[in-house]
Chains A and B, each alone.
Chain A
C-alpha cells in the first residue's frame, strides 16, 4: 500500500462546477497535510495546508481533513479552466513531505 494515495484521473468537470479531489494516507501519526497545484512543466505551488479535523476554507478552495478515516480532500468551487492542473496531496512525516501521485484535473469551458 502506498503511503499517500490519490486517484490519478483525469478528473473532468464543467466550468462553474465543484471539483472534488481525494487523498488517503497510511500513517496515523501524520499531523499536517498539504495540497499543491502543478501546471504542466512547472513546479508545484502550495494551495493550502491543514492540520485540524474539519474544514478549512480559502477563497474558492476548501480542504477537509478526517484523521479517523485517514482522509483529506480538496474542493474547488466555481471551477475555472485556469484550475486545470495536477493536484498533489502531501503528508508531513518527520519533517519530510510524502507526496501522492497527483490527480489531473481538467475544467471544460
Chain B
C-alpha cells in the first residue's frame, strides 16, 4: 500500500461549490504539506503543519483552509471553488532530520473547477 494517499484522485466541480481533498499517511511523520502545481509554476505551498496542533499558511493560502484531524490525516478545503483553483494538488509528508527534510509526495489530485 502507498505510504501517502490522496482522495479523490480526480474531481470536477462547479464554481461556488465547497470541496475537500483528503490526505492520509502511514509513514508516521509529524509534518504534512499541501501544494498546488500549475504548468510552468512549479510547486507552490498552500498550508503546512508541523504537528497536530500546528497549522501555518504557505505562499498561496487565500481561498483555502485546512484541518489536521490526526497525525496521519491532513485535509484541504476550498470553501467556494473558483476556476483559477483548477490545478494539480499534492500532499506531502516529512520527518525532521538535522539537514535532511525529505518530503514524500502523494499521487496528486487533479481538480477542475468549471
| Contact between A49 and B100, CB atoms less than 8 A apart | yes
Q: Hey, which chain B residues are within 8 Å of A31, CB to CB?
A: 99
Taking the closest CB of chain A, its distance from the CB of B104, in whole angstroms, is: 8
Known contacts: A32-B100, A95-B50, A95-B96. The answer to whether A45 contacts B43 by CB under 8 A is no
Known: A44-B43, A88-B42. A97 touches B101 (CB 8 A): yes
How many A residues touch B, CB cutoff 8 Å? 22
Contact present for A101 and B106 (CB under 8 Å): no
Contact code string A94-108 (vs B, CB < 8 Å = 1, else 0): 011111111000000
Whether, in the assembled complex, B74 has its beta carbon less than 8 Å from a beta carbon of chain A, the answer is: no
A51 at the interface (CB under 8 A from B): yes
Give per-residue flags for A36-59: 1 if the beta carbon is below 8 A from chain B beta carbons, else 0: 000000111110010100000000
**Given known A-B contacts A95-B31, A100-B42, A32 and B105 have beta carbons under 8 A apart:** no
Q: Which of A8, A34, A90, A96 contacts B40 (CB 8 A)?
A: A8
Interface residue ranges, B against A (CB under 8 Å): 31, 33, 35, 40-45, 48, 50, 58, 90, 96, 99-108
Q: For residue B105, which residues in chain A have a CB less than 8 angstroms away from its CB? A: 43-45
* Chain A residues within CB distance 8 Å of chain B: 8, 31-32, 34, 42-46, 49, 51, 88, 90, 92, 95-102
Contact indicator A101/B40 (Cβ below 8 Å) = yes
Question: Which chain B residue shows the least CB distance to A46?
Answer: B102
CA separation between A80 and B108, bound complex, in Å? 26
Q: Which residues of B contact A102 (CB under 8 A)?
A: 42
In the bound complex, CA of A6 to CA of B64 (Å): 27
Name 9 A/B residue pairs within 8 A (Cβ), A-sorted.
A32-B100, A42-B108, A43-B107, A44-B105, A46-B103, A88-B43, A92-B99, A97-B45, A99-B42
Q: Which residues of B contact A92 (CB under 8 A)?
A: 99, 101
Asked if A101 and B41 make an inter-chain contact with CB atoms under 8 angstroms apart, the answer reads yes
Residue of B42, B45, B108 touching A96 (CB-CB under 8 A): B45
Look across to chain A and name the residue whose beta carbon is closest to the beta carbon of B4. A43
From B40, B42, B102, B106, contact of A49 by CB (8 A): B102
Say how far B26's CB is from chain A's closest CB, in angstroms.
16
